[in-house]
């Protein structure tokens, strides 16, 4: 465990050396939040109006949380890094290292996005409060619960991106699959809650990654419920196990393929 903790710390220190890149991401995040916040204020003609049992304040906070998780993940660069490792053969150097490549990817990415995750959370809550003027009714316990689900959402997102990146073992370039995944998460997971979609679509989305990576944490933030928290946590743990096993399976298959081909 000590080696992974060292990797985690190293990535945090490395991210501090690229302050300008972090600042540019913060500006992009703030701009997107500002656009969506004002969009929902425009859609709600009456501040007291409810759309699918969401008030304008709840909708703004919902978008704040989902955008926080989505932007903090930084999936495109991360996926490209894995694809390049596979295509260039750089993966061979990691195979001989005293750590598991999947564990390395997961821990290093979490370390890389650690500061961004905190800064985006603070920025999002600050902008939300300036626009709405109040926070949702939350206790310290419920805030901690939401943070836990947000962290688990990041872990799930990371595992799914690792799986997509390692899919390059099979098709050489899995970027198109990441593009589809990211747009699916953006359109169905960040802008609208699941309740806004048709009934038949809700049944699908409730079992999709959107529920555990976007909807679950955001819904708990705008309307916390202990029972829903338990459901979200269980669903997230199941997704983590499934995501990890998928990554492990495709990685082992890819390594066997390299050995057979003399890689």
Kindly report, residue by residue over 102-129, the tens digit of the pLDDT.
988 899 889 888 888 888 888 888 887 8
Q: From CA 76, how far away is CA 84, in angstroms rounded?
A: 12
Q: 186-242 pLDDT, tens per residue? A: 888 888 889 888 888 888 999 999 999 999 999 999 888 888 999 999 999 999 999
Q: How high is the pLDDT of residue 153?
A: 94
Q: Which of 28-32, 38-42, 220-224, 236-240 tops mean pLDDT? A: 236-240
Q: Look at residue 213 in the predicted model and tell me its pLDDT.
A: 92
19 — pLDDT class (breaks 50, 70, 90): low
Higher pLDDT, 240 or 97: 240
Q: Can you give the pLDDT at residue 229?
A: 93
pLDDT at 82 over 80: yes
**Residue 259 pLDDT greater than 70, yes or no:** no
Record the pTM: 0.89
pLDDT at 47: 66
Q: How confident is the model at residue 18 (pLDDT cuts 50, 70, 90)?
A: low
What pLDDT, on a 0 to 100 scale, did the predictor assign at position 260? 53
Query: What mean pLDDT comes out for the span 135-143?
Result: 83
pLDDT of residue 51: 78
């Amino acid at each position: 465990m000590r080696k992974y903790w060292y990797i985690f710390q190293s990535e945090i220190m490395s991210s501090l050396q690229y302050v300008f890149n972090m600042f540019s991401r913060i500006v992009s995040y703030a701009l997107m939040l500002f656009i969506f916040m004002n969009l929902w204020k425009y859609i709600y003609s009456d501040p007291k109006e409810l759309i699918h049992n969401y008030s304008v304040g709840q909708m703004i906070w919902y978008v704040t949380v989902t955008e926080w998780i989505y932007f903090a993940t930084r999936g495109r660069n991360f996926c490209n890094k894995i694809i390049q490792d596979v295509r260039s053969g750089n993966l061979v150097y990691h195979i001989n290292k005293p750590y598991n490549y999947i564990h390395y990817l997961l821990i290093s990415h979490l370390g890389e996005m650690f500061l961004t995750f905190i800064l985006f959370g603070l920025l999002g809550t600050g902008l939300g409060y300036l626009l709405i003027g109040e926070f949702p009714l939350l206790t310290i316990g419920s805030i901690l619960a939401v943070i836990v689900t947000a962290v688990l959402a990041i872990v799930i997102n990371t595992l799914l991106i690792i799986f997509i990146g390692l899919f390059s073992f099979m098709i050489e370039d899995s970027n198109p699959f990441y593009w589809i995944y990211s747009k699916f998460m953006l359109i169905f997971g960040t802008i609208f809650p699941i309740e806004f979609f048709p009934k038949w679509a809700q049944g699908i989305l409730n079992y999709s990654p959107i529920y555990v990576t976007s909807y679950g944490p955001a819904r708990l933030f705008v309307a916390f419920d202990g029972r829903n928290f338990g459901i979200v946590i269980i669903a997230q743990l199941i997704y983590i196990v499934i995501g990890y096993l998928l990554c492990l399976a495709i990685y082992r298959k890819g390594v066997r393929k390299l050995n057979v081909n003399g890689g």
